[in-house]
Structure 1
Amino acid sequence: MGWSPAIYKFVDGGEVPVPPDMAVVRAVWEPHDVGDPRHTVGEDGSLCFWIRASDGSEAEMFADGYGVPVSRPGAGAVFGIITELASRLGAVIFDPSRGAIVCGAEEHAHLPAGMQEDAVVVDMTGEAVEAALTGPRRS
């Protein structure tokens, strides 16, 4: 069973996430892509990349007009790539299995009022986001 957080951008307290900027998504992902380039762009403009971080941790990442689902991220530096994308998009990271939202202070202000109370505000670093979503890593 895989664990799949997702990245969504909210603006001015709106209830519906806004589409991610696909140019930003590509700029963050392309340097880390190890998948088949023939399968990165769908006919509808959606993106699918297999990302590998410098420590070997990986995740399959998708982007479409709704948001950015992340499939089965491994523990480690891949969270830095996930966090970089969320930061550059001005977005939050949502864990649907727990209903948890992790974000920076600026993004928190843009969440719908009903989501603000439960959101966890952290420094947007890979380590902080990973700890907030999965608990501290054991050595």
Structure 2
Amino acid sequence: MCMSSEARQTQQPSPQQTTRQRETSASPLPISSPRRGEIWDVNWSPGRGAEQQGIRPALIIQNDRGNTSPSYPLTIVASMSRTERELPLHVRIAPSEENGLTDFTDVKCEQIMTIEKSRLMRRRGGITSDELSRVDTALKLSLNLLP
């Protein structure tokens, strides 16, 4: 059956198309393209020993050149925790619409890991440039890179 151009223009999308559009517009970047400073839910399982397990948030700390390279399947993240500890290696992030957090959460700069991008489940949002600067300072302290 052939439709006129007028009929095609006024045709409403199906519920499946609408759902698909919402799902894709919520996360404009493909799973393989995280960006530095973004918070993603990571599937940490299977964890070993004291490593985190389950699906939990993490901050992408790797540079975007590595993050966006289709030939590089890894990224570097810092784990996050809602357990508040006054440690110089933890950076407290307040929840906001921009970062997608629902509680105050610490970026644990002493717990950095290289993971496969396939472990990234969902983009939550991103932190501010001020927060990323504080994370950078804590990472330098953790890795003994401060003068």
Give the structure with the larger strand fraction: 2
Larger-Rg structure? 2
Q: Which has the higher contact order (CA 8 A, sep 6+)?
A: 1
Q: Give TM-score, length-normalised by structure 1.
A: 0.25
Question: Structure 2 length as normaliser, TM-score?
Answer: 0.24
